[in-house]
Structure 1
Amino acid sequence: MCLRAVGPYAAAGAALPDGTVAQYGDYEPADLLVDLNACPVTLVDVGVLRDPDDVPAGEPTPGSRADQLREIDQRIGAVLEAGPNGADFVVASLADAGRSERLRMVLARGPGYGPGTLESPSTRQVGLAQAADLTATVLADVGLPVPDAVQGSPLTSQPAPDNSERRARERLQTLRDLDEASHDVHGLVEPFFQVFAYGQLVVYLLLLLVVKGRIGSEATRTTVLGRVRTLSVAAGAVPVSTFLANLVPWWRFPVEMLAVTAAVLGFVVVIAGLALRGPWRHWVLGPPAVVALVTMVVLAADVMTGSRLQLSSLMGLQPVVGGRFYGMGNPTFALFATAAVILATALSSWLVLRGRRETAFVAVVVVGVVAVVVDGAPFWGADGGGPPALVPAFASLAFAVLGLRLTWRRWLVVGASVVVLFVVVAVLDWLRAPASRSHLGNFVQAVLDGNGGDVVVRKAQQNVELVQQTAPLSYLVPVALLVLALVLARPTSWGSRALARSHEAAPTLRAGLVALLICLTIGFLANDSGVAIPAVGATLAVPLVVSVTIASLLNEQYARAGTRAARRRRR
């Protein structure tokens, strides 16, 4: 098909595989009318903008930002004026204006684009598109099929109720919010979680010194333990609160770190208060169960309604990175899976204590099925690496609740079930239209095209490279998983006697921790960037397990205090 390029950068888009451009013209306003009517598609380079405040020192810029924008705007106006009647026009910014990574602009005008906001099936987000969507849009506009290799979808418009100025300002504000949040969150993630992680380490070190009797008296020990338990439950509420914080437009405040921290702490107070105030607070697994339930419900509701809370959150999806725009990313899966296992552990322990072992088994299965469906369904979580980690974990917990040993035959059945489940879900996704497929369906297509092995190798290489790039801290992840396995294998050794005592009040706790270990380990091995899964899961699991241990210690303290009081009364 005839394709014309106007301007040097447009030639890159119009070039044939051998580098030649069939029709090319320099940008000359006098000749623009002819250029735009020569072919069904014309690519026009309307200029480059370099932000003088954001380029490396010493790099020359062609004038001020305002002057550059004025010239680009005039060129866009000339193209619109010279274009044929009934044509579609798309204006796209394809590069950053300096060193800062930002979301860029894409606008469309024409018979297929009325007042509204652009959206793409490839992102499933109103107002967010990928560069590959531009290719798909051009191909679809001229009636050509969009190859699967494009990995993009034609842009469509979500129409506005009317073309009023107020509606236009609201749409612009929404797009500005997307850009500001995605830009501002990058600089906040590392300092926020450094304070979060190191703050917990300090608290737990103080706790260890108190437990060992190095600091504090017997009278102050109970007080310290109670406060640390409160802090542990609050720390467990932090991960889900980082998602809920996006209900507040923190990026509009002058000091973003202060605003997002205040929003997170506000939700932490509400969730921790709910966990520590109800009648369940007296049971060692009560508060962790509440935090896990809230985490699971919030994350499930988010992916089922469009993943808006995840976008540009401290632990969610980053649009400016473009790795994923919907469903369960690795950090979200880690939190969701950890919360599901903890919730199933708490429910099964509560039922087993009441002699209802079969009901406990059913509860584990129900929580597991819900978790797998929400995580793996192409229209919700669309996570290919999640179900293979969730199914074995919940199977081990379910067998343990029934008092059954996991023989190699049972493990073989579980493994085969995982494979069958993955294949069925992926094929069902592949049967949908290419523009509606998630990466599960795209993987099936890659297998059919003979590229499935390349995808698997690439994901494995990404995991290895990420571990190498983040060394030496990332090397602690497999070490930590190994240490946890040893602690669970020898529950009265390795300094875990306090945790072992918790098993009396929560009979399926050890089985739940084994299930969590299985889930995080398989997630680590099966996903690209999988090193993040155990690390993120630990941000929820560690505080809640610490709170369980402290609750057991507190119960012992209260029991000893009651025994001493009874002896004094007898005297």
Structure 2
Amino acid sequence: MIRSAGRWLVTLVSLVAVVAAGLLPTTASYAAPPGQVQAPGQGQGQAFGSGQTLEAAGTPGTSRATAATTHPIVLVGTGGFTWSDLSAARTPTFWALLQRAAVSTVTVRSVNTNTCPVDAWLSLSAGERAAAAGVNGAMRRDTGTPCPGMGEPVNGQVPNWSDYRSLAERSDFGAEPGMLGDQLAAAGAEVLAVGPGAAIGAATENGEVAEYLDLATALATQRLPATRVTLVDLGSVRDPDDQPRGEAAVQETLAQQVSALDQKLGELLTRLPADADVLVAGLSDGGRTARLRPVLAAGPDFGAGLLYSPSTRQPRLIQSSDLTVTLLTLAGAEVPRGQGGGVLAARADSDDVAARYRDLVDLDLATLKGHALVPPFFNGMILTQLAIYLGVWALLKGRLGAPTSRRRLLGIVQVVSVAAAAVPVASFLANLLPWWRVDPVMLALVGAVGVFVAMITLVAVAPPAGRHLLGAMLVVSLASAVVLAADAVTGSRLQLSSMMGLQPVVGGRFYGMGNVTFALFVTSVILAVTVLADALVRRGKRLVAAGVVAAGGLAAAVVDGHPSWGADGGGPPALLPGIAYLVLAVLGVRLTWRKGALIAAVTAGLFLLVGFLDSLRPADKMSHLGRFFESLGTSAALDTINRKLSTNIGNLIGSPLTLLVPVALVFVVYVLLRPTSWGAKSLERSFERAPLLRSGLVAWVIVMILGFALNDSGVAIPATGAMIAIPLVIAVAVATLRDQSRESAR
């Protein structure tokens, strides 16, 4: 007894020590991607560290930005068009700016699915997601709802300001409209607002604007007043083919509107100081459809190239909160601690402007087409899984095929099950092929995914892997774990705009392990280490097997939780208890309630310890773990928890994945575990041949339950994990039936 207790205690302490060392953020872990970087107000080659994501909740206190510039700063806000709407012939001003500016695309997602101009300016003012109410005074949820208008300030006061503030207080994003104006005023920076949207962006907490001009007056003057910061609302275009219901019809075509906007931009630029830093940003959508919008930065502190954001860590992609942080930084103002967004930097690339433009258009195209295909892709995955369950049930009940053809049918079911389990990782690998450039795009996507599914399935079912009971499970799970880990470590390029990865227009996460990716990753890791450990246990090497499980689980926790890689706060606390259980099972140690409570307490303590250590870092280096730890005991922490809880509940009752969980559960209980069924006999026989398989599945269930509780994707986590686990379990059970059929034939 003492020896057993000592073994599991040492194992648990080792888990804590290694994971704490792996998750502890370091300065080097936040280094910008390699390449020549020019920071605003600093010398060439200055690399920036990691910024924040929109998951962050604001916390009290401020930190001094150090990259202030001496040049005037101008932000020109517009929206409704994309890079593909610009050309040398139609938009000469934009095209000329493209030749000398640092450029990127910006995700403009605010509170609502599509971002109206008023939402965009409120979000710029708050530096977080904010929005105006609809016509009935409630939050807009339908993309078909018309955008609210914006009025000119009256006696220096922004209309409806109290309503904007009140709605922001009721939301769960911690937004405080007026933050930008307050911070600039505190720094003594004079601010000029041109246009109604700019007045919203420049307003202080009480809705006051110190200096204001309407756009017509500004364009009629020879030179705009010299101020430290100038915000200009140039106006936004509306897509006549994408307008919400009830919105006033637009008479001009999109091309005509963009051309007129380009002409106004040309007039504005001649009225700005020659040494100004000018940021021209698409801040809003042009209708119901969410798109990535253009952003250009030119001036003494921005050379030609690409704009890099440490908050997204993705080439050619920034988020709107970066603009707020950049304005504050350039103006020498305080950036509130825990503020979402990062400082934009001009990153030199090749001198081929045409190639740069094509890459920006291609990113927008991939994002647009990929985001639209996510619902049908998931629906197809769900229907495929349900069809497999139904087919296996019919086969095991003797309602499918004659007894003489049963072995051949079992082989087909095994191959189909393995192929279904390979689809998730294949959906990421498909981004290695530019399927979004081919029409019809759905057929191109299916073809790209199918290529990698076929490759993985062939390796899994063919010798030598196909000769072993758990061979297919090892191949699929190991391939999935390695691909997802490598992608997280190298910048999450495969995840971006993939069917089961990160969607830029949603703007929730731009790098690391999203919740769906986490579910796929940890499921694959648990199954892979289970298969490897089972082979070792059957050879009598229990200690080596326990070491394999611990090492694999710890490596997965580090990849998932490290701020430079997975950056997933809820992942390691969900994964480690399952790994601890599996290690104890390998060692033959019985898990009691007392031991389980100790594992839970140590896991929670590890999460808080890593958060505390991360909170000791400077604000611009801190991850969302540290910011959440700092916010404990404040309303900001409650906002974050409420937002995740409401999202979890919404997914629980409204996601199509909800259907998959109970059906999979019924299938497992009725078909695979029901004592009188043929499936139960085959699975029990599989457990006899692979003794550790049962414990591995129990560990997986533990992780899925904890993942459901700790993350904001709710039922999507166990449902997504089941997309790999259940088909592979079916493949194992069917393989056992095939072996029994061969033995009977002999």
TM range (shorter): over 0.9
Deviation, structure 1 residue 455: 2.2
Letter in 1 for 2:316: G
Partner Cα separation in structure 1 for residue 615 and residue 268 of structure 2 = 40
d(CA) in 2 for partners of 1:211, 1:486: 11
Match of 1:447 in 2: 632
Aligned-CA RMSD value: 2.2
What is the DSSP-based 3-state SS (H/G/I as helix, E as strand, rest coil) of the residue aligned with 2:259?
Answer: helix
1:496 aligns with 2:680: yes
Contact kept in structure 2, 1:481 and 1:517, CA below 8 Å: no
Q: Which residue of 2 aligns with 1:172?
A: 357
Q: Whole-Å Cα distance in 1 between the matches of residues 341 and 550 of structure 2?
A: 38
Distance 1:483 1:558 in 2: 26
- The alignment status of 1:66 with 2:258, answered yes or no, reads no
Which residue of structure 2 lines up, in the alignment, with residue 245 of structure 1?
430
- Higher alpha-carbon deviation: 259-268 or 424-433: 424-433
Partners of 1:323 and 1:533 lie apart in 2 by 16
Do the aligned residues in 1 keep the contact of 2:311 with 2:318 (CA within 8 Å)?
yes
1:327 counterpart (498, 507, 512): 512
**CA shift digits 1:248-277 (9 cap, x unpaired):** 111111211011110000001111111122
Q: Is structure 2 residue 233 aligned with structure 1 residue 45?
A: yes
Q: 1:33 to 1:372 in 2, by over 3 A?
A: farther
- Structure 2 distance, partners of 1:329, 1:487, is 32
Q: Deviation of residue 150 (structure 1)?
A: 3.1
The code of the aligned residue for 2:690 comes to A
Equivalent residue, structure 2, for 1:119: 308
**Conservation of the 8 A alpha-carbon contact between 2:338 and 2:619:** no
The CA deviation string for residues 208-242 of structure 1, in whole angstroms up to 9 with x for no partner, is 32332233223211111011111111111100000
Relative distance call for 1:310 and 1:450 in structure 2 (3 A) is: same
User: Which of residues 324, 342, 352 is equivalent to 2:527?
Assistant: 342
Q: What is the DSSP-based 3-state SS (H/G/I as helix, E as strand, rest coil) of the residue aligned with 1:93?
A: strand
Answering whether residue 538 of structure 2 is matched by residue 353 of structure 1, we say: yes
Displacement of 1:478 in angstroms is: 6.7
User: How far is 1:112 from its partner?
Assistant: 1.5
CA drift at 1:448: 6.6
Does the 8 Å contact 2:537/2:545 carry over to 1? yes
Alpha-carbon distance, 1:67 to partner: 1.9
**Partner residue in 2 for 1:520:** 704
String of CA shifts for 1:170-195, please: whole Å, max 9, x gaps.
22222222211111122212222323
Cα distance in 2 between the residues matched to 1:257 and 1:362: 44
Unmatched 5+ residue regions in structure 1? 563-571
What aligned pairs does 1:198-277 form with structure 2 within 5 A after superposition? Answer: 198-277=383-462
Which residue of 375, 381, 396 corresponds with 2:560?
Answer: 375
1:428 is aligned with what amino acid?
Answer: L
Superposition misfits of 4+ residues, deviation over 6 angstroms:
485-488
Q: Which moved more, 1:297-306 or 1:269-278?
A: 269-278
Give how far 1:23 is off: 0.4
**Correspondence for 2:143:** none
Unpaired runs of 5+ in structure 2? 1-188
User: Which amino acid in 2 is paired with 1:51?
Assistant: D
Q: Which moved more, 1:254-263 or 1:17-26?
A: 17-26
Separation (CA, whole Å) in 2 of partners of 1:327 and 1:111: 33
- From 418, 426, 434, the equivalent of 2:603 is 418
Q: Secondary structure at the match of 1:42?
A: strand
| 1:159 and 2:348 correspond | yes
TM-score (norm 2): 0.71
User: Which segment is superposed worse, 239-248 or 523-532?
Assistant: 523-532
Q: Does 1:533 align with 2:717?
A: yes
Once the two structures are TM-superposed, the CA of residue 493 in structure 1 deviates from its matched residue by 6.2
Q: Give the corresponding residue for 2:726.
A: 542
- Structure 2 CA distance for partners of 1:85 and 1:71, relative to 1, 3 Å: same
Shift of 1:29: 5.3
Q: 2:331 aligns with which of 142, 148, 154?
A: 142
The alignment status of 1:311 with 2:496, answered yes or no, reads yes
Higher deviation after alignment, 344-353 or 271-280: 271-280
> How far apart are the structure 2 equivalents of 1:188 and 1:324?
19
Counterparts of 1:151 and 1:467, CA distance in 2:
28
Amino acid at match of 1:122: S
Distance in 2 (CA, whole Å) between partners of 1:377 and 1:33 is 53
CA contact (8 A) 2:223 2:272 kept: no
Q: Which moved more, 1:456-465 or 1:286-295?
A: 456-465
* Partner Cα separation in structure 1 for residue 722 and residue 253 of structure 2: 48
Change (3 A) 1:477 1:206: closer
Distance of 1:319 and 1:310 partners within structure 2: 10
Deviation at 1:434, TM superposition (A): 2.4
Which position in structure 1 is the counterpart of 2:207? Answer: 19
Mean CA deviation greater in 427-436 or 304-313 = 427-436
Residue identity matched to 1:285: L
Change (3 A) 1:420 1:484: farther
- What is the rounded CA distance, in whole Å, between the counterparts of 2:430 and 2:541 in structure 1? 39
User: What percent of counterpart residues are identical?
Assistant: 48
The structure richer in helix per residue is 1
- Report the 3-state secondary structure (helix = DSSP H, G, I; strand = E; otherwise coil) of the residue aligned with 1:229: helix
**Structure 1 segment 386-397 matched on structure 2, within 5 A:** 386-397=571-582
Match of 1:568 in 2: none
Tell me how far apart the structure 1 counterparts of residues 537 and 689 of structure 2 sit (CA, whole Å).
10
Q: Deviations over 1:272-301 (max 9, x none)?
A: 111122312111111111110000000000
Aligned counterparts of 1:150 and 1:423: Cα–Cα separation in 2: 21
Structure number with greater CO (CA < 8 Å, separation at least 6) is 2
Greater mean alpha carbon deviation, residues 6-15 or residues 200-209: 200-209
- Once residues 454 and 462 of structure 2 are traced to their aligned partners in structure 1, the CA distance between those partners, rounded to angstroms, is 11
1:438–1:392 distance in 2 versus 1, CA, 3 Å: same
Tell me which residue corresponds to 2:273: 84
SS in 2 for 1:458: helix
Q: Equivalents in 2 of 1:351, 1:491: separation in Å?
A: 29
- Give the partner amino acid of 1:139: L
Cα offset, 1:130, TM superposition: 1.3
Taking the TM superposition and a 5 Å limit, the aligned residue runs for 1:176-195 are 176-195=361-380
SS of the equivalent of 1:378 reads coil
- Contact 2:415–2:461 at 8 Å: present in 1 too? yes
1:75-95 superposed Cα distances (whole Å, 9 cap, x missing partner): 222222221122100011111
